[in-house]
Amino acid sequence: MGKIKRRKKLLLPVIFIAVFGVGFGIGRLTDGPIGQVIRTLQIRRAFVQIRDEVRINSILPPAPDVSINAQPIPVVLGEYEWVSASGRKSKRDAYGEEEIKKLVPVIATAGAKVMIDRGEINNPVFGRGIHSLRFGLADESDIEESSSFITVPEAPGLYRYRIDCEWMMDQGQAVFYFALEVQ
């Protein structure tokens, strides 16, 4: 019996020293490269949460990602009607011809493909991506349903395009514009 009590008395300080040592070792690791990785991951996670919160409460519709040869093409938001995920409504009735003429064109190679990403249909931030997408030249009144890409014309010149987007469940619709210059 005496030996068992003595072992219990010794065991408690040994456990305390082991726990303290492990805690001290982990603390030292967080000051080094592992700690930098942990802090970087925490910062990234916080950034994603803030970004998603801003998107959810945005009163503007999300722009589709437009690219040519994997290079992004900037798009300009024209007329729109939008209901944000938080229920806020916003609207612009018209976007003038003068603004469309001011678009800065992206240099494009004849025959290249312009890709348009609709976004995820079940996007965790917006709840849904672009349901209906049509695009064509900005000065044409009749534009057709799109398979998410067009081929750049062969003839050199300046081309202004419009993208008509519509989201499901009456979340909204929007028109985006971009310009290409074929050389």
| pLDDT at residue number 107 | 93
Tens-place pLDDT, residues 64-111:
888 998 889 999 999 999 888 778 888 888 877 888 888 899 999 999
Tens-place pLDDT, residues 9-64:
666 677 767 666 665 566 555 566 666 767 777 776 766 666 555 555 577 888 88
CA angle, 162 as apex, 181 and 95 as ends, to 5°? 110
Tens-place pLDDT, residues 149-169:
888 889 999 998 888 888 777
Domain limits, the chain = 2-56, 65-182
3.40.720, 2.60.40, 2.115.10, 1.10.510: CATH of 65-182: 2.60.40
Going by the DSSP 8-state scheme, the letter that residue 69 receives in this structure is T
Total-model pTM: 0.63
Give me the count of residues in the chain: 183
| pLDDT at residue number 99 | 84
Q: How far is CA 161 from CA 55, 67, 157, 158, in A?
A: 25, 13, 13, 10
Query: pLDDT at residue 124 above 50?
Result: no
C-alpha dihedral sign at 164, 136, 77, 117:
positive
